[in-house]
Amino acid sequence: MPTDAPAIRLTPHARLPRPYRDLHVLHSTVDAYGRAHWLLTERPPGRPPGRRVRKPYDAVAVTVEDGRSYETRLSALQAHHPVFDALPDGGFVVADARSRRSEEHVQVFDVLGRSSWTFRVGDAIQDLLVDENGDIWVGYFDEGVYGDDELSHPGLRRWSSTGDPLWEYGIGPDHGEISDCYALNVDGRAAWACPYQDFPLLEIRDGRVVRTRRNPVHGASAFALHAGRVVFYGPHGDDRNQLVDCRLTWNAVEPVTHTRLVRPDGTDIGVRDVVCRGPRIYVLEDPYTEWGVLDVRTTWAS
C-alpha cells in the first residue's frame, strides 16, 4: 500500500464509565442494536492450583447505550476465557472460548442476572455474536475445527439461546471446508463470513449459504458491507490497519481503493479487538475502555 494512502478516522462510539475503570475487563462487545457491553471482575478468574474444576466467580456486565449506562450483576460464572454478548430481552450469554467435551461451558443469564440455561457449543470459539432474533452465531478457529470436539468441526454454527442446534456450515458445490473462521459479520438475521483457506465471502441467509464470492483480499480480521460494497480491515500485510474498499459483483469481490484506519485523533491504532455488524466495524483498543466505529454508510456515502 502506498505510504501516502489517505487515512480514515474512527468515530467515538461508547466509553466505559470512569467508576468501573479499576475493574478487570474480561471481554467487551457491541450487540445487534449498537449497545456496548463490558464484562468486568475485580480480578482475573483463575483455577486453584492442583484442581481441574474452575472456581465460580461473580462479574458485572456494564452496558452503555446513547451515553447512558447501567449494570447487571452476574453470579457464579464458570468461563476462564469468556466471550459474551447481549440477548434481545436484556439477558446475556457467556461462553468459555476453550472447553473440554464434558463441560457445559455456555451460561445464559436473564435480565436480572440469574443463570437460566447451560449447554455446549464446541471448543475454540473465535467469534460469538447474537443476532436480532436472539440466535447465537459461533465461528471456530482451527484448533476446534481439527480438534476432538465434533461440535466445532463445521467451522461456523448457529444455536438458539437455549442451546438447540439450528444450523451448521457444510461443504457445497462452490464453497469448500472452513479451516478457520477468520472474520464473521452478523446483521439482522443474516451472516457473512470470510474463512481460511481461500477467504471467499460467504453470505448466509435462511439456513443456507445463498452466495459465495471469490475474494482476493486474504486474512482480514473484519469487514463491513453496504449497498454493493464491502470494506475489509486488517488483511495480511505489513499494515494491520489497512482498509480495502471493494465492489461486490454477482460472484466476486473487486478491490477498488486502499486506505488506512486511524484513531479519532489521527494517530495509529495499536492492539485491538473488532466486532462486525452489517455496515459497521467496531474497534476496541487496549486498555479496552473505549469503542470506536467505522460506518461505511457515512464514510463512503454515495
What is the C-alpha separation between 62 and 69, in angstroms, rounded?
Answer: 7
For residue 5, the model assigns a pLDDT of 58
Q: Which of 165, 30, 27 is nearest to 96 (CA)?
A: 27
Amino acid at 28: S
Cα–Cα distance list, 42 to 24, 28, 45, 86, 184 (Å): 6, 15, 9, 21, 31
For residue 3, the model assigns a pLDDT of 45
Q: How do residues 66-79 score in pLDDT, each as one tens digit?
A: 999 999 999 999 99
Percent of the chain with pLDDT over 90: 87
For residue 112, the model assigns a pLDDT of 95
Q: Which of 219, 255, 260 is nearest to 6 (CA)?
A: 260
Homologous superfamily, domain 7-168+177-299: TolB, C-terminal domain (2.120.10.30)
Sheet of 68-77, strands arranged across = 24-30, 36-41, 57-65, 68-77
3-state SS string over 199-251? CCEEEEECCEEEEEEECCCCCCCEEEEECCEEEEECCCCCCCCEEEEEEECCC
For residue 113, the model assigns a pLDDT of 95
Compute the mean pLDDT over every residue in the chain, rounded to the nearest whole number. 94
For residue 57, the model assigns a pLDDT of 95
Domain boundaries, the chain: 7-168+177-299
Collapsing DSSP to helix, strand or coil, 196 comes out as: strand
The average pLDDT across 239-266 equals 96
For residue 188, the model assigns a pLDDT of 92
The average pLDDT across 260-286 equals 96
DSSP state of 55: P
Percent of the chain with pLDDT over 70: 94
Question: What backbone phi and psi angles, to 5 degrees, belong to 281?
Answer: -115, 120
Residues in contact with 261: Cβ distance below 8 Å, sequence separation at least 6, in sequence order: 7, 8, 9, 10, 233, 241, 242, 243, 269, 283, 294
- CB 289, CB 28: distance < 8 Å: no
For residue 2, the model assigns a pLDDT of 45
pTM (2 decimals)?
0.94
The average pLDDT across 90-102 equals 96
Q: How do residues 5-61 score in pLDDT, each as one tens digit?
A: 579 999 999 999 999 999 999 999 999 999 999 999 998 886 555 455 568 999 999
Our CA angle for 288, 281, 38, nearest 5°, is 30
